[in-house]
Structure 1
Amino acid sequence: MSKTRRREELLAAARTVFAHRGYQAKVEEIAAEAKVAKGTVYLYFPDKRSIFVELIDALFGRLAEAILRVDTGGDVAEQVKHNIRAILSVLVDDPDTMRMLFSHASGVDPAFGEKIDSFYDGLKMLLTESLKEGQELGIVAEGDARLYATFTLGGLKEILWEVARRPEVPRQREEIVDAVYALLQRGYLRVPPRPR
């Protein structure tokens, strides 16, 4: 097996273990899930924290790639909905990573809490920059973009928490997309009417 493939298998095993046991999971459990010896894990990762950091960084990368820049020359409403849908898909299609984010173990180990905080801070920064760009384009109301981002991220976390707890929610994605879009439109979003 190639080193790249083995590394991916170890990360997949770690994602599953962290999702069910939280950050307090042991490297031995990751090795058992991957069906390898504990020493094999250490050939690829120096410690448990580095595995966790890589999983969270990969999630942030997938989210950043999924969000498209809005082009005011096109259908802005559909582009915003696409971005909402993309964020939901990245998280809902990877339930183990989503469970990792909502693990209650953040108080158990400072490294876990710091990495989760860093993840959300990165998302907030990404969203703040997107909202500032939207303000320049005239599709986001004037105001404190960071505060708008904080409200939006807080709402998104609650929606994702519901998705993590209730398995029927993923089937309602379009309802979620429409509801989030409607809320944004009544708030800071200023989408021009579609040309007829």
Structure 2
Amino acid sequence: MDKAERRQQILLNARDVFAKRGYHAAKIDDIVAAAGVARGTFYLYFEDKRAIFEEIVDRTFTRIGMAVLRVETEDPSRSVAAQIKENIRRIVGALIEDPATTKILLSDAVGLDPAFDRKLLSFYEEIGKLLEASLIDGQSMGIVAQGDAHMFAIMTLGALKEIMYHVVMRGLEYPQERIVEEIFSFLSAGYLRIQP
């Protein structure tokens, strides 16, 4: 196994250990046992438990940020509704396909320490700003109702986080496509001004 594969193996096993035990209860010994590597091998790749945890969270932030694409109202090949559903599908898919990391984001990452809380808050603020900018764009195109785009963004993120909390943390069983359709219906009944 090369270094990149070994590093990935440690990351995946650490993610599962954090999801199962929580950040504070997880020990480096748990991670190396799950990964099947020596403790010294762990330290070749990561400075400490905090460093590997932070990388897991950072990778998820990046994956979620890359999931959202700009809606093009002039695209003749795809309707605005189809593009919005695709964005919802990509975000929900990123969260559902990696429930262990989603669990970490929704529970263990919160309250870790003040520095990490600032990082988490900064991530949500950035996602909120991107969503708010998209909503303002949508308002100028007539596909989003006039109103406080900042508040719309906060409500949208809150709804999505709550749904994912129930799916991942509480075992609410909904197929991914049903989640996408319900979120789209909710937004359509709210600030979206498009035909399904």
3-state SS in 1 of match to 2:110: helix
Q: Shift of the alpha carbon at 1:175? A: 2.0
3-state SS in 2 of match to 1:131: helix
Q: Shift of the alpha carbon at 1:158? A: 0.9
- Distance, in Å, in 1 between the alignment partners of 2:96 and 2:171 is 10
**Map of 1:55 onto structure 2:** 56
Q: Shift of the alpha carbon at 1:111? A: 4.8
Q: Shift of the alpha carbon at 1:88? A: 0.8
Q: Shift of the alpha carbon at 1:127? A: 1.7
Equivalent residue runs for 1:143-162 within 5 Å:
143-162=147-166
1:119 aligns with one of 123, 130, 153: 123
CA separation of 1:139 and 1:58: change in aligned 2, threshold 3 A:
same
Q: Is the 8 A contact 1:10 1:34 kept in 2?
A: yes
Equivalent residue runs for 1:1-196 within 5 Å:
1-24=1-24, 25-73=26-74, 74-103=78-107, 106-107=110-111, 109-167=113-171, 169-171=173-175, 173-191=176-194, 193=195
Provide TM-score, normalisation by structure 1: 0.87
3-state SS in 1 of match to 2:72: coil
Q: Is the 8 A contact 1:139 1:190 kept in 2?
A: yes
Q: Is the 8 A contact 1:66 1:87 kept in 2?
A: yes
**Percent pairwise identity:** 49
Q: Is the 8 A contact 1:19 1:103 kept in 2?
A: no
- Distance, in Å, in 2 between the alignment partners of 1:164 and 1:97 is 10
Unaligned 5+ segments in structure 1 are none
Unaligned 5+ segments in structure 2 are none
One-letter identity of the residue aligned with 1:72:
T
Paired residues in the alignment total 192
Q: Shift of the alpha carbon at 1:46? A: 1.4
Q: Shift of the alpha carbon at 1:126? A: 2.5
Q: What's the RMSD between the two structures over aligned residues?
A: 2.0
Q: Shift of the alpha carbon at 1:17? A: 0.9
Q: Is the 8 A contact 2:103 2:168 kept in 1?
A: yes
CA separation of 1:34 and 1:79: change in aligned 2, threshold 3 A:
same
3-state SS in 1 of match to 2:54: helix
